[in-house]
Amino acid sequence: MSMSRSRNSRLPPCPWLLLVVFLVSEFPSNSYADVGTSARYAPPYLPTTCYGGEATQFPSSNLFAAAGDGIWDNGAACGRQYLVRCVSAEQPRTCIPDQSIQVKIVDYASSAVSAASAPSTTLVLSDKAFATIANTSAALINIEFQQV
Ligand SMILES: *[C@@H]1O[C@H](CO)[C@@H](O)[C@H](O)[C@H]1NC(C)=O
C-alpha cells in the first residue's frame, strides 16, 4: 500500500500535462476573438452618432450595433464589422446554439437614441441581431467577438 502510494506520488503530473495540452489545442480556434458583453436596443435607431439621420446606413440584414466604450475608438469604430457569438448568460440556454452574426457599427452606445437593455456593454445589438443569437428575454449576454 505505502509502496504504491509512493510510486503514485513520483508519477509525472500527468493530469496537469493533459490539461495543458487540452488548453493549447483549444486555443487556435479562438485566438483572434475577444470576450465581452452585449445588451440589445430597440427602435428608434435614428439619428446615430456615426451617420446622423441617413436611413441607408443600416445593412439590409438589420444586423447592426452601437459600440461601447471598449471598442468605440473615438469614433473610428463607425462602419467596422464584427463577428459576434453568444457564449453564455445568467439564465441557462439563453444562447441559440451555433449562431453567429456579423454586425456593422452605426452608433455609440452612450449617445444612442434608445436606451440599451443593460449599461456599459461592449456592443449594444439591434433587436434583430440580438434575437439571432440569443433569447430576447435576456437583457445581457456574454459574447465572443472579433473584427472582420
Ligand atoms: C426564453 O427565456 C424565457 C425566460 O427564461 C423562457 O421562458 C422562454 O421559454 C425562452 N424561450 C425560448 C425560445 O427558449
Q: What confidence tens digit (pLDDT) does each residue in 107-134 have?
A: 999 999 999 999 999 999 999 999 999 9
Q: Given ligand 1 and candidates 99, 137, 141, which is best to mutate, with the most ligand atoms within 8 Å of its CB?
A: 137
Q: Decide whether any atom of ligand 1 lies within 6 Å of the 92 Cβ.
A: no
Flag whether 78 is in a domain.
yes
User: What pLDDT score does 32 carry?
Assistant: 76
Flag whether 29 is in a domain.
no
User: What pLDDT score does 82 carry?
Assistant: 97
How far apart (Å, rounded) are the C-alpha atoms in residues 124 and 110?
Answer: 10
Please identify, by atom number, the ligand 1 atom nearest to the C-alpha of residue 135: 1
Please identify, by atom number, the ligand 1 atom nearest to the C-alpha of residue 93: 14
Q: Compute the distance from residue 120 Cα to the ligand 1 centre, in Å.
A: 24
How far apart (Å, rounded) are the C-alpha atoms in residues 24 and 28?
Answer: 8
Backbone angles phi, psi at 39, to 5 degrees: -110, -175
- The answer to pTM > 0.85 is no
Q: What residue's CA is closest to ligand 1, atom 12? A: 135
Q: Compute the distance from residue 15 Cα to the ligand 1 centre, in Å.
A: 38
Q: What residue's CA is closest to ligand 1, atom 10? A: 135
CATH classification of the domain holding 115:
2.40.40.10
The mean pLDDT of the chain is 89
**pLDDT tens readout for residues 47-69:** 999 999 999 999 999 999 999 99
Q: Which pLDDT band, with edges at 50, 70 and 90, does 77 fall under?
A: very high
- Domain residues for the domain of 87 are 34-147
Flag whether 11 is in a domain.
no
Q: Which pLDDT band, with edges at 50, 70 and 90, does 29 fall under?
A: low
How far apart (Å, rounded) are the C-alpha atoms in residues 11 and 48?
Answer: 62
Task: Tell me how many domains the chain contains.
Answer: 1
Flag whether 8 is in a domain.
no
Looking at per-residue pLDDT, the higher value among 116 and 24 belongs to 116
Flag whether 67 is in a domain.
yes
Flag whether 9 is in a domain.
no
